[in-house]
């Protein structure tokens, strides 16, 4: 999954002609808040897949298996979206090229 994200990020400088600069995230870059008042709980969102997994497992110690399954599912969905994104262009181009391929063979 990380390799796929890295591949997508290589296209951004090409598309923007180098006008985009990436700024590193803080180690805790977001917080999910659930509840109100005395029942309010804050859960940090940290950068790095393994660091985030570790924080979740420390926060929810009885849910290790579910957390691992969650990350597996996120990875599967990410791979599917990546493949659909990149092969959509090929499918469209291949479909548009069909009439030209037929005229060469006939």
Half-sphere exposure of residue 13: CA atoms within 13 angstroms, side-chain side:
7
Every domain of the chain and the residues it spans = 60-97
pLDDT band at 21 (very low <50, low <70, confident <90, very high): confident
pLDDT at position 59 is 94
Residues 45-104 pLDDT 10s: 999 889 999 999 999 999 999 999 999 998 888 777 766 666 655 555 565 555 555 544
| Residue (of 13, 49, 47) closest to 27 by Cα position | 47
| Residue (of 37, 58, 48) closest to 5 by Cα position | 48
| Residue (of 8, 48, 2) closest to 26 by Cα position | 48
Residues 3-20 pLDDT 10s: 555 666 666 676 677 777
Pairwise CA distance, residues 38 & 91, whole Å? 54
């Amino acid at each position: 999954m990380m390799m796929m994200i890295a591949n997508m990020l290589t296209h951004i400088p090409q598309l923007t002609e180098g006008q985009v600069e990436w700024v590193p995230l803080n180690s805790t870059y977001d917080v999910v808040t659930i509840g109100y008042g005395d029942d309010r709980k804050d859960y940090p969102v940290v950068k790095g897949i393994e660091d985030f997994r570790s924080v979740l497992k420390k926060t929810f110690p009885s849910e290790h298996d579910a957390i691992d399954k969650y990350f597996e599912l996120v990875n599967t969905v990410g791979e599917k979206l990546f493949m659909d994104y990149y092969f959509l262009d090929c499918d469209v181009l291949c479909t548009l090229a069909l009439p030209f391929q037929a005229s060469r063979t006939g």
